[in-house]
């Protein structure tokens, strides 16, 4: 039997493209066939947004939306018969929170997805149940498979370093979580502002407008991100991941939490109904309407139970390593799935 031929086409080279597309291809590429000598699958990884048909069985790509993109790929499908697997790990078809300045034409995305997405896709993968529920407006529900974000062991297998003697806090979030142009707190609140103003805060990426940063570290490309994040995080005791309670955030994943698990530092994260951090340790969860005084208490509790929480995080991480769960992807591309 011929090997299943699958071409992975990332649509970005930031975190989403690597975690959901490129890393999956790399792990599938490493799986051996029954002889133990040859690759089980014929896997290729295309340049960002480059769709070439060379008799693949599947093209696995991400975030396909918008009239031009969908029409182009629909024509390719009709001409070749190739099957499309499309991944979504964020909302791109509804209005974003006003503090999120991503340049997304969500109205055109919605219209094009409503009209033609079901015709294009054979399989859809999503990172959360909330995304599945939302996407079922466009795609037959049986086509949609929830595969949570995972991180590969080969990128994140780090030994835990000793805790620093300080109580420094690291924030390593993108500027989509706040708005520095309008001084909008975004996923933070004025109570978070009050609390952080009394702490030593280090920043990786863009500094929120209200934070008096201590050390600042620039973002790095994804090839070196895990190592740099590990180095920076190791010098801090806590990593924070605040979220506002809204539809966009309910559809996000717990990727930052997984990264914190891998580097052995406690993540302090917001919890609400359908929050991506629902499965975090109870002591590290922060309510949406938290006060500065409550934050002081939460951090104190985490300090007293630090080792317990870190152990919980490592156990959680083990369930979410890509290599341990690659069968979820293999199940999607079985030979019988190719039958019409």
Q: What is the mean pLDDT of residues 302-324?
A: 97
Q: Tell how strand 169-171 and strand 42-45 pair up.
A: unpaired
Q: 118 and 177 in one domain?
A: no
Burial of 120 (0-12, 13-18, 19+ CB in 10 A): buried
Q: Are residues 163 and 302 in the same domain?
A: yes
DSSP state of 177: G
What are residue 39's DSSP bridge partners? Answer: 32
Show the tokens assigned to 254: 């717990």
How many independent structural domains does the chain possess?
2
At 186-245, the pLDDT tens digits run 999 999 999 999 999 999 999 999 999 899 998 888 999 999 999 999 999 999 999 999
Backbone angles phi, psi at 7, to 5 degrees: -110, 125
Which DSSP string do the residues of 144-213 spell out, in sequence order?
EEE----B-HHHH--PPPPPPSS--EEE---GGGSBTTTTB-TTS-HHHHHHHTTS-EEEESSPPTT--E
99-103, 171-175, 197-201: range with lowest mean pLDDT: 99-103
306 in the same domain as 211: yes
pLDDT value for 339: 63
299 lies in the same domain as 157: yes
Of 102-106, 224-228, 232-236, 302-306, the one with minimum mean pLDDT is 102-106
> Each residue of 318-333: pLDDT tens digit?
999 999 999 999 999 9
Query: Alpha-carbon distance 218 to 259, whole Å?
Result: 17
Spatial contact of 269 and 285, defined as CB atoms under 8 Å apart: yes
Same domain flag for 265 and 330 = no
**Structure-token pair, residue 260:** 């914190």
* 212: number of Cβ within 10 Å: 10
Q: What is the DSSP string of 14-56?
A: SHHHIIIIIHHHHHHHH-B-TTSSSBSSEEEEPSTT----SS-
For the chain, give the number of residues. 340
pLDDT value at residue 114 = 97
Mean pLDDT of the chain: 94
Q: Give the pLDDT of residue 1.
A: 58
Are residue 299 and residue 158 in the same domain, yes or no? Answer: yes
Same structural domain, 247 and 164 = yes
Token representation of residue 143: 């086509």
Q: What is the pLDDT of residue 340?
A: 52
Residue 264 pLDDT more than 80? yes
Residues 189 and 107 in one domain: no
| Residue 173: predicted pLDDT | 85
Q: Are residues 20 and 130 in the same domain?
A: yes
pLDDT digits (tens, 9 = 90+) for 141-166: 999 999 999 999 999 999 999 999 99
Predicted pLDDT of residue 101: 72
Assess whether 137 and 257 both reside in one domain: no
The verdict on 170 and 240 lying in the same domain is yes
The residue written with tokens 């929830």 in the block is 146
Q: Can you spell out the DSSP letters for 219-284? A: ---HHHHHHHHHHHHTT-SEEEE---SSHHHHT---HHHHHHHHHT-EEEEEE-TT-TTTTS-GGG
Mean of pLDDT values over 60-71: 96
Q: 132 is written with which tokens?
A: 């599945």
What is the extent of the structural domain holding 175?
153-319
CATH of the domain at 222: 3.40.50.2000
CA torsion sign for 45, 229, 156, 151 is: negative
272: pLDDT confidence band, cut at 50, 70 and 90?
very high
Percent of the chain with pLDDT over 70: 99
pLDDT digits 0-9 by tens, 18-42: 999 999 999 999 999 888 888 999 9
Residue 310 shares a structural domain with residue 333: no
What mean pLDDT comes out for the span 130-141?
96
């Amino acid at each position: 039997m011929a090997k299943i031929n699958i071409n992975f086409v990332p649509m970005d080279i930031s975190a989403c493209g690597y975690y959901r597309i490129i890393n999956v291809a790399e792990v599938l590429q490493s799986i051996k066939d029954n002889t133990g000598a040859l690759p089980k699958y014929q896997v290729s990884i295309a340049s960002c947004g480059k769709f070439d048909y060379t008799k693949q069985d599947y093209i696995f790509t991400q975030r396909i939306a918008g009239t031009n993109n969908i029409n182009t790929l629909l024509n390719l499908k009709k001409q070749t018969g190739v099957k499309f697997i499309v991944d979504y790990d964020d909302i791109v078809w509804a209005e974003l929170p006003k503090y999120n300045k991503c340049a997304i034409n969500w109205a055109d995305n919605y219209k094009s997805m409503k009209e033609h997405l079901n015709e294009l896709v054979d399989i859809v993968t999503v990172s959360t149940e909330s995304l599945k529920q939302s996407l079922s407006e466009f795609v037959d529900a049986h086509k949609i498979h929830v595969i949570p974000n995972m991180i590969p062991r080969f990128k994140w297998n780090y030994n835990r370093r000793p805790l620093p003697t300080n109580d420094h806090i690291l924030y390593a979030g993108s500027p989509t979580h706040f708005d520095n142009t309008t001084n909008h707190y975004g996923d933070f609140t004025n109570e978070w502002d009050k609390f952080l103003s009394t702490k030593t805060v280090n920043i990786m990426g863009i500094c929120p407008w209200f934070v008096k940063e201590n050390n600042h570290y620039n973002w790095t490309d994804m090839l070196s991100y895990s190592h740099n994040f590990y180095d920076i995080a190791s010098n801090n005791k806590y990593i924070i991941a605040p979220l506002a309670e809204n539809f966009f955030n309910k559809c996000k994943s717990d990727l930052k939490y997984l990264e914190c698990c891998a580097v052995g530092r406690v993540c302090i994260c917001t919890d609400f109904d359908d929050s991506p951090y629902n499965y975090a340790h109870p002591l590290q969860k922060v309510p949406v309407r938290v006060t500065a005084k409550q934050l002081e208490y939460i951090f104190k509790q985490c300090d007293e139970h630090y080792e317990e929480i870190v152990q919980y995080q490592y156990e959680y991480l083990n369930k979410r390593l890509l290599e341990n769960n690659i069968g979820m992807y293999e199940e999607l591309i079985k030979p019988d799935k190719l039958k019409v």
